[in-house]
Structure 1
Amino acid sequence: MIATVPHPGIDAAIDDALARIRTRADSLGSGFTALAEALARAAQGGKRFRPALVSASFDAFGGDPRNASALAPVAAAFELLHTAFVVHDDVIDHDTVRRGIPNIAGEFRRRGLAGGADAAGSALLGDAAAILAGDLLLHEALRLVALADVDAATRERLFEIFDDAVYVSAAGELADVENSVVEDCADPEAIFDAAFNKTAVYSFSAPLRAGALLAGAGATSLDVIDRAGGRLGLAFQLVDDLIGAFGTAEQAGRESGGDLRESKRTPLVALARQTPTWPRVNDAIAVAHTGPIAVREAQRALEESGARARLRRLVAETLDDVRGMSADTSLTPAAGMLLRDLADAVERRVP
């Protein structure tokens, strides 16, 4: 997604943090060693685009590679933060498989069953292992920032960036879950806020801002890159919602129409709720879990309601905002180009 080569030290910093967890685990029992190994597997195979954003922003703002000792650990911290959120999300969603193989919860459910636990006991063990693994990753992410080779003022500002990323993301996840379980559907504004908070800050605004900060960008530039990152993150999440409803199995990484099968209350559904055809859409989504024919009917109902077209327009408008911000005179030409490249990359994902 990002047309740049990540800093070569980032992968090493991630590997070092995971190795540290394993080293600490070796003296704390076989169960904890198994957790460290499962955690390392969970951290492998991702796109690692958040660390790449830190690196790309650093380069775009003219960061001096000779003074880049803090870049790798700070960028690595964003990948560990992301993995922690993913691990915790799987617990929230009761998922035991990721990318076609057992995730941490799934591995420890199997471990429990192999040790003689019943189904309830093995489920408890799986959830506990995943929660603790996410906690360890959060700790290691903050440890990397705490030990980064920066002056005290920069460290304080980096912690402010991470503080915002964690708090806003937690609020977004909680709101998303609450919106999905309460009887009354939240208003569209609340659903869009949850969509923004879940992803935009920790995945876009915070990494871009951190890289710019490490490069020595000024306050105005930092504000522009922060706002543009927020708009990019919102567009990215809205595209994810379109993919979750209309994307191919290859795009979604699971069966097509997964969000419809799960009756998720996404911005797409919120927009459909505002149309005269909502009763038909609602009825179609209610039975989408029954199979592919019902999924296709829900997709048709959403399409005919105009919600899909309206959400695609919102994505386009949001990305146009980013392109407008990219021309801000406080940005370097390379930073402006980075924002435009990212906007184009998000746009290419639209199903």
Structure 2
Amino acid sequence: MTTATGVAFGPSISTDIESEVRRALDSRADRLATLGSAAAHAWDLASRCVLGGKLLRPRLLVGAVDALTGSEQRNAEARGPAVRIAAAIELLHFAFLLHDDVIDRDLMRRGRPNFIALLLEEWEEDDGGSASRLHAARSTATLVGDLLLSTAHQIFFREATPGEAGQRLLEALDQAVLESVSGELTDVALSAGRVRPELAEVVEMSRQKTATYSFELPLRSAAILSGRGPEVEALLGQVGDLLGLAYQLQDDLLSVFGEPDDHGKDPYSDLREGKETAVIAIARRSTAWPLIEPHFGAGDLSAAEGAAVRSLLTESGAENDIRALIVELSVNARDLVFTEPDLLGPDMVMLIDDLIETLDGRRS
């Protein structure tokens, strides 16, 4: 059986994916080396930042392919393309992280300096003011993110076989990028006050930003690479949509109520930024909001004030409501899987069940 501690999420999968990511990065580095030192150096620094994450998305894809293929012969045929597409999704993920750090003006990622901050450290002694260096670092992050997006697309196009299956694979990628960018645009509009922060709008923004490329794309890709038809792809896409939204809502909770040592993020950065999350959308409708509002978006929010706001968010019912919604999404995903156990097969059913258990207990 495929379990969360076995085939689907085991170390052998991570090793294969990391090797493929390095190979893709090195191949691009060789071409960039002939085009100029600035591009080559930026790519080298980004390459050192890419690895070190949880590899959730690529491990999900490869684990799902292993669960769906069954026989050793079919598994061997599907494994190579699956690992390469999985590496592409990790590059896509890092591209989105770079763009997100530019948009959110963040200098930390995974509890340590991000790509932008590392550039600033390198350039600290160079000529030019701090504002000029910051602009240059963010511009570099944007351009490297664009190049990573291009690299991910190149891998997908190379692996897409002629015919319907290949077309479905490319369509899954295109939809993931479209929805992720749409979600980010809505997030920007919310922050600028151009869109009303209603709960439904915020939840849909969260779904688009994370669910499509983080869970739906890996699961849809796995179905296609395993030779399964549109029915299996659609079912796994629905499951990925539900679990991806649950994952993003968990992130929103961890950003405010989690332990910084676990998730590596300032617990009050979202509050200081005035980030419109589902937690805030629910709190806006509560009697506690007049007490929260003066501190929401305050760049100089102190730790003591942040702790007070966190307590008010709990008292407003927002924390419990989001936790209940996460449970509901997980239950719905599990119910979907168990309505068609023969269609997916026992290993795939077990993988999704174990994934839900893993997500339910995560702290980072």
> CA–CA distance in 2 between the matches of 1:184 and 1:326?
35
In the TM superposition, what is the alpha-carbon distance from 1:288 to its structure 2 partner? 8.1
Residue number in structure 1 paired with 2:134: 123
In the TM superposition, what is the alpha-carbon distance from 1:279 to its structure 2 partner? 1.3
1:15 matched to 2:18? The reply is: no
> CA–CA distance in 1 between the matches of 2:336 and 2:255?
29
SS in 1 for 2:127: coil
2:314 to 300, 303, 313: 303
> CA–CA distance in 2 between the matches of 1:111 and 1:288?
27
> CA–CA distance in 1 between the matches of 2:131 and 2:298?
29
Could you tell me which amino acid in structure 2 is paired with residue 22 of structure 1? A
Residue number in structure 2 paired with 1:335: 348
The number of equivalent residue pairs is 351
> CA–CA distance in 2 between the matches of 1:93 and 1:219?
37
Residue number in structure 2 paired with 1:107: 118
In the TM superposition, what is the alpha-carbon distance from 1:8 to its structure 2 partner? 5.2
Identity %: 32
1:67 matched to 2:77? The reply is: yes
The structure 1 segments of at least 4 consecutive aligned residues displaced by more than 4 Å after TM superposition are: 110-113, 286-289
In the TM superposition, what is the alpha-carbon distance from 1:104 to its structure 2 partner? 2.8
In the TM superposition, what is the alpha-carbon distance from 1:185 to its structure 2 partner? 4.1
Question: Measured at CA, do residues 276 and 120 of structure 1 come closer, stay the same or move farther in structure 2, by a change above 3 Å?
Answer: closer
SS in 1 for 2:312: helix
Superposition pairs of residues 68-107 of structure 1, within 5 angstroms: 68=78, 69-107=80-118
Is contact 1:2-1:49 (8 Å) kept?
A: no
> CA–CA distance in 2 between the matches of 1:249 and 1:230?
27
Superposition pairs of residues 180-219 of structure 1, within 5 angstroms: 180-182=191-193, 185-219=196-230
Question: Measured at CA, do residues 259 and 70 of structure 1 come closer, stay the same or move farther in structure 2, by a change above 3 Å?
Answer: same
User: If the length of structure 2 is used for normalisation, what is the TM-score?
Assistant: 0.90
> CA–CA distance in 1 between the matches of 2:153 and 2:239?
25
SS in 2 for 1:290: coil
Residue number in structure 1 paired with 2:279: 268
In the TM superposition, what is the alpha-carbon distance from 1:152 to its structure 2 partner? 3.6
> CA–CA distance in 1 between the matches of 2:301 and 2:135?
29
In the TM superposition, what is the alpha-carbon distance from 1:154 to its structure 2 partner? 2.2
Residue number in structure 2 paired with 1:43: 50
Residue number in structure 1 paired with 2:173: 162
Residue number in structure 2 paired with 1:237: 248
In the TM superposition, what is the alpha-carbon distance from 1:72 to its structure 2 partner? 1.5
Is contact 1:205-1:229 (8 Å) kept?
A: yes
Is contact 2:111-2:263 (8 Å) kept?
A: no
1:55 to 55, 62, 70: 62
In the TM superposition, what is the alpha-carbon distance from 1:310 to its structure 2 partner? 0.9
In the TM superposition, what is the alpha-carbon distance from 1:213 to its structure 2 partner? 1.2
Could you tell me which amino acid in structure 1 is paired with residue 349 of structure 2? G
Give unmatched runs, 5+ long, in structure 2. none
Is contact 2:275-2:297 (8 Å) kept?
A: no
**More deviation, 112-121/200-209:** 112-121
In the TM superposition, what is the alpha-carbon distance from 1:164 to its structure 2 partner? 0.6
In the TM superposition, what is the alpha-carbon distance from 1:260 to its structure 2 partner? 2.2
> CA–CA distance in 1 between the matches of 2:14 and 2:316?
46
SS in 1 for 2:159: coil
Is contact 1:243-1:251 (8 Å) kept?
A: no
> CA–CA distance in 2 between the matches of 1:233 and 1:181?
25
Could you tell me which amino acid in structure 1 is paired with residue 348 of structure 2? A
> CA–CA distance in 1 between the matches of 2:258 and 2:275?
15
Is contact 1:228-1:322 (8 Å) kept?
A: yes
Question: Measured at CA, do residues 177 and 184 of structure 1 come closer, stay the same or move farther in structure 2, by a change above 3 Å?
Answer: closer
Residue number in structure 2 paired with 1:28: 35
Is contact 2:186-2:195 (8 Å) kept?
A: no
User: If the length of structure 1 is used for normalisation, what is the TM-score?
Assistant: 0.93
In the TM superposition, what is the alpha-carbon distance from 1:112 to its structure 2 partner? 4.6
Deviation per residue, 1:141-191 (Å, 9 max, x gap): 111111127344322111101001101000001111211121774211111
Is contact 1:58-1:211 (8 Å) kept?
A: yes
Is contact 2:109-2:265 (8 Å) kept?
A: no
In the TM superposition, what is the alpha-carbon distance from 1:79 to its structure 2 partner? 0.3
Deviation per residue, 1:298-322 (Å, 9 max, x gap): 0111111111111111111111101
Could you tell me which amino acid in structure 1 is paired with residue 319 of structure 2? R
Is contact 1:284-1:297 (8 Å) kept?
A: no
Residue number in structure 1 paired with 2:263: 252
